[in-house]
Structure 1
């Protein structure tokens, strides 16, 4: 199975169907075919298929889902493409490095996603929280806004170049080591962690967002396995049980 079959490009909240068609064309020219649409403002229309210019199959096969979390639930590497400096603290990659990292991870038969936001406003902070790293295209600072399809073309090209540079990608043997946790499993652990910190009064009146951002960065760097997520969730469950007991005895 080709490395490119493990790489998907996700368009979030796209406002103009023609941009989706142009993005599909940009992908297909670089040998990529997995396109996912998250809550597009308008359905695909004649303009979208016309602008795909031969990539009608990419459009026709593109699933439509309602949330980014659903689109990346089975991914082990999620790269959010953004032109803005935001409060969400993420490792920032140049397109070349992002392409190389994506191809290396896909070579392990892991699912990888590049995420592109809305034409006018990009990705929200909440959506960027679902990403492992941000990708920034170093465009002219005086005119930094790229068309959506142009941004897709840049990243698709870097993925193509990374593939061409990898003559023989190492493939992990089935059953070797522990199975990596899916994006959905890790997000479930983060949800339980946030609940637990509230229950044990870890924040003590402070805003919880800062601590959770730091904890997310810490755990995302480790690439948790399914077994490790289960272990952590077991610890959190015991902490929650003790917090309930402590709360009951205090009454």
Structure 2
């Protein structure tokens, strides 16, 4: 799905930025990198900044002109932070991802299009074009684009590093494509223990009320209000059975300590 989307860099000055872009792309399962007249490439700097995304660099296509890079594309989107005298239809990164990856009814090749304009169909090739580090895309290059992609950010400091800009756009494409849901990573023991049942939670709440009363924290007149708030806290957390066992062990130890000090 993402393989038909080209990330196109125009006249990149610093080879390290090319490597950083390759890394950003691979993070989001994208590999189709095109370089228009880069100042220095290949380069050890690019390889170093790629941090393992050497395959993206090795597969990069280098060409002389932007026209050559986008010649086979049905949709071309140019990224720019600068305002323009003549306005282009604008997209945010999320809108860009939706336009590329979500096919809306009534936007097919039969000529019927809704007011939202061009959408792709499976198999269409798309180019997302990023300009020079210091000056971005020139107007004649934007003339080749269907849309202008603008990343919302601080209006007083809107200049993004090119790799950061590519990362944001690729992230939105990754999430919209559905691949992010397939890449869920469990950290530590997350998900290993089943969640506590309603019956187990009720037994815990009974034990909790007893322990809080035993240690003098809770008084009968205030018990309903306190327990209601404690229920809200633990219900938000969604305890698993192991966590519940740990908490009940703490309650038993607290009760035992209180009895020993009372003797």
TM range (shorter): 0.5 to 0.7
Q: 1:70 aligns with which of 45, 53, 68?
A: 68
Deviation at 1:86, TM superposition (A): 1.1
Point out the more displaced range, 153-162 or 41-50.
Answer: 41-50
Q: Does the alignment pair 1:138 with 2:136?
A: no
Q: 1:99 aligns with which of 97, 100, 117?
A: 97
CA change 1:29–1:165 in 2 (3 A) is closer
CA change 1:107–1:162 in 2 (3 A) is farther
CA change 1:47–1:141 in 2 (3 A) is same
Deviation at 1:166, TM superposition (A): 11
Q: Distance in 2 between matches of 1:73 and 1:166?
A: 30
- Unpaired runs of 5+ in structure 1? 168-251
Aligned to 2:45: 47
Root-mean-square deviation (CA, aligned residues, Å) is: 1.6
Q: Does the alignment pair 1:113 with 2:127?
A: yes
TM-score when normalising by structure 1: 0.63
Give 1:83-232 correspondences, 5 Å limit. Answer: 83-104=81-102, 107-164=121-178
Deviation at 1:47, TM superposition (A): 1.0
Q: Distance in 1 between matches of 2:39 and 2:10?
A: 9
Q: Secondary structure at the match of 2:178?
A: helix
Aligned to 1:61: 59
- Unpaired runs of 5+ in structure 2? 103-118, 182-263
Q: Secondary structure at the match of 2:177?
A: helix
